[in-house]
Amino acid sequence: MFSKQKPMWGEKTQLKSSYDAVIIGGGLHGLATAYYLAKEHGITDVAIIEKNYIGFGGAGRNTAIVRANQRTQHNVPLYNEALKLWPILTKELDYNLMFNNCGNLNLMHSEAAMKAARMTIATAQFHGVESHLIDAKEAKELVPALNISDDITFPIHGAMFHPPGGIVRHDAVVWGLARGANKYGVEIHQQTEATGIKTQNGKVTAVETSRGTINTKQVLISAGGYSAALIYGMLGIKLPISVLTIQAMVTQPLKPLLNHVVSSGAYHCYANQTLKGEVATGAHMDQWPNYTTQNTAHYIKHQAEALSEFLPCLRGVKFMRIWGGLADMTPDMAPIMDGNEHIEGFYMDCGWGYFGFKSCSAVGKYMAQFMAEKECPEILKPFNYRRYEKHQLMGETAALVNYTPDN
Amino acid sequence: MALTITCPICGKRNGYEFRYGGEDKGPRPEEAGITPEIWCDYVHMNKCVAGVQKEWWFHKDGCGSWFSIHRDTTTNLEVKGPEADK
């Protein structure tokens, strides 16, 4: 992976002693921001520094689901734009991102859940996002494998159907954006750990790394689950974040049986069939903060029980792989994008929880605009860091089951 | 990730019996002269340490005690606290 061979995105370059902008974290948000900085704003003297390899963190560990049926007015337009960007990016990057807009079916297991879904759907429709409420029979027509009988733990009352959502090949997005950004001159430095940010008179002056100091006036921390620890460690800024390990797994490959992403809040489980035929499934988060990304027998059992109830045809199917990633959860389940305030030239993009993948395209575009114009774009303003002390939490938590610790 | 927690009353038990109660942020701030910033810092803000942190736990499926321990968040293992805390 770190051999002397040419990396997949382009030529290998020497780390310089200064750049116009430095991005800490070679994940999707960092790569997308660099791509748009170079493409839309002509800021091409950019270094992405990545401790491990690009796509090591959440970018390569999420379950690849994209959708725009969030709950609140500020979130829906951002995710909707992100969703609409997949086909555009596929063309722009000239890279097959394998966007499969198979639609998302979110199962509801009580009348209260149906009521909550009605509100979410009204919000989606108000913002021009296609989303419908359907009953159990219609859900069964969409996904014949569903068990809609009454004799399961949480019988299905109906579902929220969001046809424009689906699945995108997450690794392809990493590779496509890396190549796309590099084409405009962005440098990617793997195996380079950021160890500090230097400031002088309230302005960013340099980034300290394991391979020396890089002088720069602008730095973005978009390091996924590691962002909060980095931001506190480097600048002493505390964030309303709890970092939890989230687990996922895939079954052995099967013939096509699921042509929509199916998810359930009550069972705390979602499943989609990848183009290879594996059923990718997940949702469980450890209920205490940790950075282990390890798996638990507790969860494998939970997942098997949940899946074999609402998709009984999966009984006896074997799990093939299991993994974990980090989710940086905020109390209102919405991210924090802010910067250039206390410290001139410092930007942060974090708190995405498990929404970092589905948002990366649009966020890259707007974080790039933020860094280029040094003025927060309207669409990102509601996600500011000060909203917590102003009691302006976003209320994305309607369908929350029992994610802890803070919410 | 598997975790065991040592409850001061029940001893070492499976982590799933407990509810995490947040980072130990010291005493609740005084009400007199409190600002939204101080309150927000106490209620919401975390250090998210990748390493040893002091934190609260509640033995929800056990004796109901609230207590604090030191744990390494990168290994999920309880550790002895620094001398100052003893």
Tens digit of pLDDT for each residue in A377-392? 999 999 999 999 999 9
Is the confidence at residue A402, as pLDDT, over 50? no
Q: Which of B2, B40, B49 lies at the smallest CB-CB distance from A389? A: B40
Establish if A13 touches chain B: CB-CB under 8 angstroms. no
Q: Which of A242, A291, A324 lies at the smallest CB-CB distance from B74? A: A291
Can you tell me the mean pLDDT for A157-164?
98
CB contact under 8 A, A296 and B44: no
Instruction: Sort out which chain A residues have CB atoms less than 8 A from B26's CB and list them.
Output: none
**Kindly report the CA angle at B12 between B9 and B17, in degrees rounded to 5?**
85
Is the confidence at residue A407, as pLDDT, over 60? no
Report d(CA A172, CA A222) in Å as an integer: 19
Choose from B44, B57, B61 for mutation: most chain A CBs within 10 A. Answer: B44
Choose from A234, A238, A299, A404 for mutation: most chain B CBs within 10 A. Answer: A238
Instruction: Sort out which chain B residues have CB atoms less than 8 A from A239's CB and list them.
Output: 45-46, 48
Confidence of residue A286 (pLDDT cuts 50, 70, 90): confident
Kindly provide the ipTM of the predicted complex, given to two decimals.
Answer: 0.93
The residues pairing with B56 across neighbouring beta strands, listed in sequence order, are B68
Q: Which of B21, B37, B45 lies at the smallest CB-CB distance from A239? A: B45
pLDDT of residue A2: 73
Q: Torsion over CA of A230, A233, A237 and A238, rounded to 10 degrees?
A: 80
Least confident of A4-13, A33-42, A209-218: A4-13
Q: Please count the residue pairs, one from chain A and one from chain B, whose beta carbons lie less than 8 angstroms apart.
A: 81
Q: Name the maximum alpha-carbon separation found in chain A.
A: 66
pLDDT of residue A214: 98
Sheet holding A158-162, edge to edge: A132-135, A158-162, A104-108, A261-264, A269-273, A279-285, A242-251, A319-329
Q: Which of A292, A388, A404 lies at the smallest CB-CB distance from B20? A: A404
Percent residues over pLDDT 70 in chain A: 97
Is the confidence at residue B39, as pLDDT, over 80? yes
Instruction: Sort out which chain A residues have CB atoms less than 8 A from B73's CB and list them.
Output: 243, 289-291
pLDDT of residue A401: 43
pLDDT of residue A387: 95
The pTM assigned to this predicted structure is 0.95
Report d(CA B83, CA B71) in Å as an integer: 15
For chain A, give the mean pLDDT. 94
Can you tell me the mean pLDDT for A348-369?
97
Is the confidence at residue A403, as pLDDT, over 70? no
Is the confidence at residue B86, as pLDDT, over 80? no
More confident residue, A335 or A394: A335
pLDDT in tens, A200-247: 999 999 999 999 999 999 999 999 999 999 999 999 999 999 999 999
Chain B nearest-CA distance from A233, in A, is 8
pLDDT of residue A1: 63
Q: Which residues of B touch A (CB under 8 A)?
A: 1-3, 15-16, 19-22, 36-37, 39-41, 44-50, 73-76
Report d(CA A175, CA A5) in Å as an integer: 16
